[in-house]
Amino acid sequence: MTPPLIAVLNGPNLNLLGIREPAKYGTATLDDVESLCAEVAEELGLAIDFRQTNGEGELITWVQECRGRAAGIIINPAGYTTTSIGLLDALIAVELPVIEVHITNIHRREEFRHNSYVSKAATGVVAGLGVQGYALALRAMAQLIAPAEAEDLP
C-alpha cells in the first residue's frame, strides 16, 4: 500500500531558520527540520512533501493542490498566520485535517501574532515547542488519519 502523503508547508522567512533570531527560533536549519520530519514520517509509515515559500499566492496554490493528493496538511504559515484570509479559505476548501505549527509560542509574543486566521481551519495547533513541534504534529496527524486508513483494510 502506498503510504499516505502529508504536506508539510512552510511560509515566509522559514528558509532563514538557523540564522534568524536563534534565541527565539533555535539553531536548526530548515534542512534539519525536513530531515527530522522525514525520519519521523518513515517511522509512522507516512510520506511527506516538505516545502517552503516566501510567497502567499504560492502557499495558497500548494494548499489547493493537496485536495485529492494529500491525506493531511501540516503548516507553519509564519507571517501569513495573522494576515491571510486567502490562506484560511484555501485550507477550508481542501477539506483535509490541518495541523498548524509555530516554533515559538505566539501567545507569549507581541499581540499582533495572537490572532491566527489559520486556526479557524486547523484541527489542532502546536506552538512553542521549537522544531520538535513538527515531529509532534506528524504523530498527531498519523492518529487523525488512522480511522480513514483503517477503513481501507480488508
Which H or E run includes 121? none
Specify the residue, 37 or 106, whose C-beta has the smaller distance to ligand DHK. Answer: 106
3-state SS class at 72: strand
Active site residues: 25, 102
The position carrying cell 501567545 is 107
φ and ψ at residue 7, rounded to 5 degrees: -80, 130
* 76 carries a ligand binding annotation: yes
67 or 107, CB closer to ligand DHK? Answer: 107
User: At 110, is the secondary structure helix, strand, or coil?
Assistant: coil
Q: Considering only residues 103, 121, 126, 135, which one is a binding residue for ligand DHK as defined by CB under 6 A?
A: 103
Interface of this chain with ligand DHK, residues 38 to 77, rule: CB under 6 A: 76
Judged by beta carbon, residue 40 or residue 131, the one nearer ligand DHK is 131
